[in-house]
Amino acid sequence: MTLDLRELYQDIILDHGRHPRNFRPIEHPTHTAKGHNPLCGDRVTVYLTLDGDRIADVSFEGRGCAISTASSSLMTEVLKGKTLAEAEALFAQFHAKVTGGEVHDLPEALEEDAERLEPLTGVKAYPARVKCATLAWHAFEAAVKGGGAEPVRTE
């Protein structure tokens, strides 16, 4: 990765970390779930409104490191308007990239959204930070499955 690209990615992460998008509760969500990363203390609540199998709205609240906040912010931006199947495909691709797993091709309609998540893929060089980057995604997945009283954990 070139120095210029690394700096751009860092700027994107810092911007989303300092000025997160969709950082708010949804008044009447259809689904919610909490997540907690005990390693660094990140906490997130993901709010979701589904219209059939389409994500009508998605937001989050919480506190955590810049990586966790930026990942939550970027996640909400790319998932809004997607179907649950599209969201699952984006999460699988993102998770594979940050963990060094096998990356599969995405439908062309999702490629731009996957590219928007690229700034976070550098965390694969720092295994402890992978948990920060995936926390909101795991909470989103738990919300879709019905949430629960206990927060999802990255441990």
The domain spanning residue 110 has which CATH number? 3.90.1010.10
Domains: count for the chain:
1
pTM: 0.93
- 45 phi and psi angles, rounded to 5 deg: -120, 125
Q: What is the pLDDT of residue 3?
A: 64
CA distance 92 to 81: 18
Query: What is the residue range of 88's domain?
Result: 3-147
Residue 132 placed within a domain: yes
The answer to whether 29 touches 49, Cβ cutoff 8 Å, is yes
User: Mean pLDDT of residues grouped by 10 in the chain (155 residues)?
Assistant: 73 94 97 93 96 98 95 98 97 94 91 94 89 96 86 80
Residue 16 placed within a domain: yes
Q: What is the pLDDT of residue 137?
A: 97
Residue 101 placed within a domain: yes
Residue 103 placed within a domain: yes
Residue 117 placed within a domain: yes
Residue 155 placed within a domain: no
Residue 152 placed within a domain: no
Q: Collapse the DSSP code of 19 into the 3-class scheme (helix H, G, I; strand E, B; otherwise coil) and give the result.
A: coil
Measured CA to CA in angstroms, residue 143 lies from 1, 133, 137, 149 at distances of 35, 17, 10, 11
